[in-house]
Amino acid sequence: MKNRGDYKVLEAVILQVKQGMEEELEEAFLEASKIISSMRGYISHELQRCMEVKGKYLLLVKWEALEDHTVGFRQSKEYQEWKSKLHHFYDPFPKVEHFEKVPL
C-alpha cells in the first residue's frame, strides 16, 4: 500500500451543494468513494464541510499523476457512475484544479 504522503498531484474542488441536499450528498459520497478509491493512481481523498457556509464542501484527492485523474478516471466507465451519483447535487458546477507540492 502506498504511503498517503507520497503523491504528485492534489486535486482540489470547492463543491457548492444545492440548499437542503447536504445530508443526501454526504450519503451519496460515501457510496461514490468506493468508485474513486478503486482507480489506478488514486492515493487518498477527503471531503470537508465548510464551517461558515452551509452547503459548501472541499474535496481533496491525491493522485500519483495528473493523467490518473484527467484520463484514467475522467475517461472511464467508473466516472460515468460517479457522475450519476454526485453531479446533480452541485450548483454551480464546480471547477476542478490540480496542484503540486512546492519544494521548500
Give the pLDDT confidence score for residue 63 in this predicted structure.
98
The structure's pTM equals: 0.93
Give the pLDDT confidence score for residue 3 in this predicted structure.
58
CB contact at 8 A, 98 and 69: yes
Domain-wise residue ranges, the chain: 9-94
- Using a pLDDT cut of 70, give the percent of the chain over it: 95
CB contact at 8 A, 91 and 13: no
- Using a pLDDT cut of 90, give the percent of the chain over it: 92
Q: 1 falls in which pLDDT band (50, 70, 90)?
A: very low
Average pLDDT value for the chain: 95
In angstroms, the Cα distances linking 88 to 8, 21, 33, 48, 85 are: 30, 10, 16, 19, 8
Question: What is the dotted CATH code of the domain comprising 9-94?
Answer: 3.30.70.100
In angstroms, the Cα distances linking 103 to 55, 65, 100 are: 34, 17, 9
Region 36-63 average pLDDT: 98
